[in-house]
Structure 1
Amino acid sequence: MDPKFHFQSAHCYFILAGDDQVPVVFNVINERTGTSYAKRIVRASQNGKTIFSLIASFAVPEQSQLEYQVKMPKVLFPHEFKCEMESGLAGDERSIMFHNSIRLPVEMDVKVIPTEYLIENSLPSNKLYYWMRSKADLPPDQLLHSLIAAYISDYEILNSSLAPYGLSKHGNKDRKALTMIVSLDHAIWLHQPFKADEWHLFELQVKPSNTEYKIK
């Protein structure tokens, strides 16, 4: 693809569980390549079965005449608190899970806003906030920054959907665990250039679900 096109959005669908011991075959369809916009459809397969599909759009950067900014929530800034991992304690469940399971070519720094702070400041119980950035300075490759942004944007979404119910993906002394939880789809839009080596605040909001929960 012409490098003039920058990644703009992705709509992902997780169809079957993948196997990291089996090669993945990617089939890319050039749905459209115009003057200002381009679109690709990607299917990932293992053993002849589609396990993942993606619709991605790309655009030539333009200066918008219409812009607005959502009001910044009143939360702690990264330098104003330490997560439990930084403090040398037993460890925040979400941070440990992230550092142990996520696979990226760069090491990420993640700081989840403590639940106690949200409660004390009357912030909505159906929202979760965390800061994230790359620990190392990254090269000025906008595609690399966008890819990292897309990858890490799926982090914490599942846990945020369970918090209002007093549940957790893994369970602990305070929260029960679900027998199974998976992500079926995911979407992301990057309206402006994204620098993954700078702190970014992620705000996750839970929506009602009609899924039947099975608790163990």
Structure 2
Amino acid sequence: MSTLIRPPPVNPSQSAIENLLELTQLHDIDPDLFTNRRPLWHPPGARGIYGGAAIAQTLSAAQKTVPPEFTVHSMHCYFVLAGNSDIPIIYHVERVRSGKSFVTRTVQARQRGKVIFTTTISFVRQNSGGERLVKHAVEKPPVPDAVEGMDDIDQDRSTERPFQSQRIEIYNDDSPHPHTKKCRQWIKARGTISPAGGHEAHLAALAYMSDSYFVGTIARVHKLWRFGSSSKANIKSNIDDKVLKKLLAMSDSDLKRIGFLDKHEIELIRKVKNGEPVEAESSSEQNTEEKPEVGMMVSLDHAIYFHDPRGFRADEWMFAEMETPWAGDGRGLVFQKIFSSDGRLIATCVQEGLVRLKQSTDTPRESKL
């Protein structure tokens, strides 16, 4: 069973993301124990549940143990084991410190007695910085506005996700230097977050969405082939097979319109459809005949710094810009800045992930960290 307690009916007064992230507090066992109220999503091809769910639900659990005048300003997370969507998760909040200006909570997510995810979260008392403040913030870059009603996942699947996203063209995509590129997208929670959810619901929603395409930035800036074999008959993908089949059936003009793929991915899809070989781009580091392929990509840790935790709405379009300063030794680092649509920097995120290429000597086996 994927939940400890039978899920209640969907609350129509709440948004999809609020319903998904609801927790049940296990008062009779321990007031600092919580569990997921609804089943969690296991993305196709992923090793476990969507990481954003663990990030958001640990934040939600911690927020329920903190006085209302305190607001989260940072959280530092580690993905320890892949979460199983068929097993309930128990969240244990440890009240590490409750001071006058700052409150600290550590939350562990457990399945079958093992820690699968852990985070330390810091909260700050509202307006504790004083009347005179040191202030500055980077500006949102000039980009096309989000288009209402559009999503970068095809419409047959869009309602499965509790948020919408629209990728826009990679900045500096033609550069030979991956660290100079920036991957960009618009994101927002689907529907309207209820007034009863308060600012806590918007923070949990942002935390959930912050893991969207995050470590995947490394594959995108290196233009790595993510769709498996160059043979159409034997094609294998790390995305949903149904989506891949639809991509292969689309015309080039339709592929460009949906915004799901980058320019080079559209060209690779075209080659696969036509039975042409998918070759590596010429460079000093890519001199093999076949294009390098992602063999394993897993998030290792995730940090969020909330800059304006009560001054934004997660159900309004937010702009996210991601860049990677370094990759090597089977890992990569990505920075993400999230802005409100009117240009305010509302959060900065950092993630390190395991990024391994498929080796020519690889044989099918279960991947383990």
What TM-score, normalized to structure 1?
A: 0.79
Please list the CA deviations of residues 30-57 of structure 1 after superposition, one character each: whole Å capped at 9, or x if unmatched.
1101122101011111112111101011
Residue identity matched to 2:215: L
Q: Distance in 1 between matches of 2:138 and 2:301?
A: 25
Measured after TM superposition, the shift of residue 25 of structure 1 is 2.0
The answer to whether 1:211 aligns with 2:329 is: yes
User: Could you list the runs of 5+ residues in structure 1 that have no partner in the other structure?
Assistant: 86-91
Query: Is the Cα–Cα contact under 8 Å of residues 11 and 55 in structure 1 kept in the other structure?
Result: yes
1:151 aligns to what? 208
Measured after TM superposition, the shift of residue 119 of structure 1 is 4.4
Please list the CA deviations of residues 112-155 of structure 1 after superposition, one character each: whole Å capped at 9, or x if unmatched.
1134x7548xxx75211111112322224100000011111111
Query: Is the Cα–Cα contact under 8 Å of residues 75 and 119 in structure 2 kept in the other structure?
Result: yes
Query: Is the Cα–Cα contact under 8 Å of residues 104 and 123 in structure 2 kept in the other structure?
Result: yes
Residue identity matched to 1:69: A
Query: Is the Cα–Cα contact under 8 Å of residues 26 and 42 in structure 1 kept in the other structure?
Result: yes
**Using a 3 Å threshold, how does the CA distance of structure 1 residues 137 and 82 change in structure 2: closer, same or farther?**
closer
> RMSD between aligned alpha carbons?
3.0
Count of aligned residue pairs for this structure pair: 199
Q: Distance in 2 between matches of 1:101 and 1:128?
A: 24
Residue identity matched to 1:73: P
Measured after TM superposition, the shift of residue 207 of structure 1 is 2.1
2:10 aligns to what? none
Please list the CA deviations of residues 51-103 of structure 1 after superposition, one character each: whole Å capped at 9, or x if unmatched.
11010111122175122121221221114x996x5xxxxxx5xx45xx66975
1:97-176 equivalences in 2 (<5 Å): 107-115=162-170, 119=173, 126-140=181-195, 141-170=198-227, 173=268
Higher RCO (CA < 8 A, seq sep 6+): 1
Q: Distance in 1 between matches of 2:295 and 2:135?
A: 44
Residue identity matched to 1:46: Q
Measured after TM superposition, the shift of residue 177 of structure 1 is 3.6
Measured after TM superposition, the shift of residue 180 of structure 1 is 1.5
1:15 aligns to what? 80
Q: Which moved more, 1:162-171 or 1:152-161?
A: 162-171
Q: Distance in 2 between matches of 1:53 and 1:101?
A: 29
**Using a 3 Å threshold, how does the CA distance of structure 1 residues 118 and 199 change in structure 2: closer, same or farther?**
farther
The answer to whether 1:60 aligns with 2:125 is: yes
Q: Distance in 2 between matches of 1:136 and 1:126?
A: 32
1:201 aligns to what? 319
Residue identity matched to 2:163: M
Residue identity matched to 2:166: K
Measured after TM superposition, the shift of residue 12 of structure 1 is 0.8
Query: Is the Cα–Cα contact under 8 Å of residues 134 and 198 in structure 1 kept in the other structure?
Result: yes
Greater Cα radius of gyration, structure 1 or 2 = 2
**Using a 3 Å threshold, how does the CA distance of structure 1 residues 4 and 47 change in structure 2: closer, same or farther?**
same
2:304 aligns to what? 188
The answer to whether 1:76 aligns with 2:144 is: yes
Q: Distance in 2 between matches of 1:102 and 1:170?
A: 22
Query: Is the Cα–Cα contact under 8 Å of residues 173 and 181 in structure 2 kept in the other structure?
Result: no
User: 4+ runs of 1 displaced by more than 6 Å?
Assistant: none
Q: Distance in 1 between matches of 2:292 and 2:149?
A: 26
Q: Distance in 1 between matches of 2:184 and 2:220?
A: 12
**Using a 3 Å threshold, how does the CA distance of structure 1 residues 77 and 48 change in structure 2: closer, same or farther?**
same
User: Could you list the runs of 5+ residues in structure 2 that have no partner in the other structure?
Assistant: 1-65, 229-264, 270-290, 331-355, 360-369
What TM-score, normalized to structure 2?
A: 0.48
| Partner SS for 2:208 | helix
The answer to whether 1:35 aligns with 2:100 is: yes
